[in-house]
Amino acid sequence: MHKRAGFSIKKVLSSEKAMELMDDGWQRADLHVHSSCSYDVPKSSIVHPKALYEKAISKNMNYVTFTDHDTVEAFDMLGWKKEKLIPGAELSVTDMSNVGHTVHINVFELDEVQFKDMQSIARNKQDIYILLDFLNDNDILYMYNHPFWFPVGEKPNLFVIPELAKHFPVIEYNMQDLKQKNIFAMALAHKLEKGMAVTTDSHTGGIGAVYTMAKGDDFREYFSNIINGNYYLIMDQPIWKHITQELSTWIELVFNMDKQAGKEFSTGFGLLDRTVRMVSSETFAQHPNINKFTMRSIQKLSSSGLPFLLYMLSKRSQISEIRNIMNFY
């Protein structure tokens, strides 16, 4: 099979280099962003859909989308037809029969009725292939999110990922995941001749810190060019620095949540959720100096890089397993 020249590490550019393309019809977008409508985003005005939309426009994003977890509430707030706004969502499909673990899919250019149908398939059918058939039948755009990231507590079926990836037009390079895993995702996209999009997957308002460039007079043409390999991945900072900054901002947002927001927020980690509820409680809020000191201390620990190093070390065995599978594949 003839390999298209578009799939290469040379697709990664700095934002300075990207500026040279701006006058030649290239468009840009961050295709994976969470707003305050996601259950795992600390409730704050800076991550409200309106604030994020305005920030994206100020950063010259040509298309703006929010991909909240299994909800389209952001578009109910902003309006489904707002200029440059592309309706989207991140769907979670726990398909134990065909896959063996949860798969996350970003979908774009959908309406309210289609979302309800997709949600029903994901929750009730729990079959990734039925969902993919629905997306194709309804001409809905989609991509495979962080193929080598898995929810806590799940034992992934790594062998199925390369085969599953064949059914997706675009594979994600996710700045919230480890560099090694993203390199594997990039190798998978290259092997299968799939498009690739770099995303922030930000939960703290970091929309547009990285983005994907492609030509397109509308979003569908833009996405089609990504599929066909005519794109660039724009990123300046290494992943470890991106994650460290995201974590620092996340800590600040958590410490400034009100009591009610703390009850609604969930990370999926029991101990961490209990800690969040504690620091957002009325009792903690009555001691602002202690609150501020604790927040700064945790941020300092985060900025040291130690939490990232520990996370990276905890994933060494999994990365080794992924490497063996990719070498076999």
* Any domain includes 3: no
Based on the domain organization, do 123 and 41 belong to the same domain?
yes
| 61 shares its domain with 105 | yes
| Six token digits for residue 202 | 């930000």
The whole-angstrom separation of Cα 218 and Cα 313 is 43
pLDDT computed for residue 299 by the predictor: 75
Which pairs from 126-132 meet CB under 8 Å and 24+ separation?
Answer: 126/93, 126/94, 126/95, 126/96, 126/97, 127/93, 127/95, 127/97, 127/98, 128/93, 128/95, 128/98, 128/99, 128/103, 128/164, 129/98, 129/167, 131/91, 131/93, 131/105, 132/167
Number of structural domains found in the chain: 2
Report which secondary-structure segment, H or E, holds 291: helix 288-303
- Domain end: 238, 268, 294, which one? 238
Q: Which of 184, 208, 238 is the last residue in one of the domains? A: 238
Residue 4 lies in a domain: no
pLDDT at position 2, please?
A: 36
Average pLDDT over residues 175-183: 96
* Final residue belonging to a domain, choices 238, 266, 292: 238
Kindly state whether residues 191 and 276 are assigned to the same domain: no
Q: What is the pLDDT of residues 186-234, one digit of tens each?
A: 999 999 999 999 999 999 999 999 999 999 999 999 999 999 999 999 9
What pLDDT was estimated at residue 116?
A: 98
Whether 310 is in a domain gets the answer yes
Tell me, yes or no, whether 129 and 196 share the same domain: yes
pLDDT of residue 1: 33
Question: Are 157 and 269 in a shared domain?
Answer: no
**Do 216 and 278 share a domain, yes or no?**
no
Contact 121, 288 (CB under 8 A): no
Using DSSP's 3-state secondary structure scheme, residue 95 falls into strand
Domain of residue 233, CATH code: 3.20.20.140
Average pLDDT over residues 71-79: 97
pLDDT tens digits along 302-326: 788 777 888 889 899 999 999 999 9
Give the residue numbers spanning the domain of 286.
Answer: 242-328
2 is a domain residue: no
Q: Which region among 21-35, 249-263, 274-288 has the lowest average model confidence (pLDDT)?
A: 274-288
